[in-house]
Amino acid sequence: MISDNNKNRSASVAHGTYNAEGAGIKHDAGKLQWHLLPMKYLRGVVQVLMYGANKYAPHNWRRGMPYTQVYNAMQRHLDAYMDGIDNDADTGLSHLDHAMCCLMFLKAYSVEFPEHDDRFINPRNQIGREELTNA
């Protein structure tokens, strides 16, 4: 029989320890807590990625592109949604899912393709921009 010296420990997912009666201990403090992300709202993003993989090539987006190209596409989807159009006419998929996909691309490009950064940067904003990018 396995001795449980941690029987009196409190269950706390937020602090990375969970100890149901008779269960083992797993210290996950500081690790990503994926259960906080509602995956069902990402299914549409996956559908947009599948559409793109079929139309262009699987992982085509991973080759990078100018930031403003992706930003413009994202804004078009958001504008259509705000005009009351829920789904994209070409794909039949949600404009919000398209916009989330574009935002993910921009995040990835900001890390992996800094050379594609074609945003206009006002020289007067440089000091504030450095503070924001380091936040």
Instruction: Domain ranges for the chain, please list them.
Output: 1-35, 39-133
**What letter represents residue 96's amino acid?**
L
pLDDT at 23: 79
For residue range 10-59, list pLDDT tens digits in order: 444 555 565 677 778 888 888 999 999 999 999 999 999 999 999 999 99
pLDDT at 7: 46
pLDDT at 104: 98
Return the SS3 of 77.
helix
For 83, the token pair is: 């005009």
CA–CA dist 47, 14 (Å, integer): 32
How far is C-alpha 112 from the chain's CA centre? 15
Q: CA gyration radius for the chain?
A: 22
For residue range 59-106, list pLDDT tens digits in order: 999 999 999 999 999 999 999 999 999 999 999 999 999 999 999 999
Tell whether the model's pLDDT for residue 6 goes beyond 50: no
Tell whether the model's pLDDT for residue 127 goes beyond 80: no
pTM value? 0.75
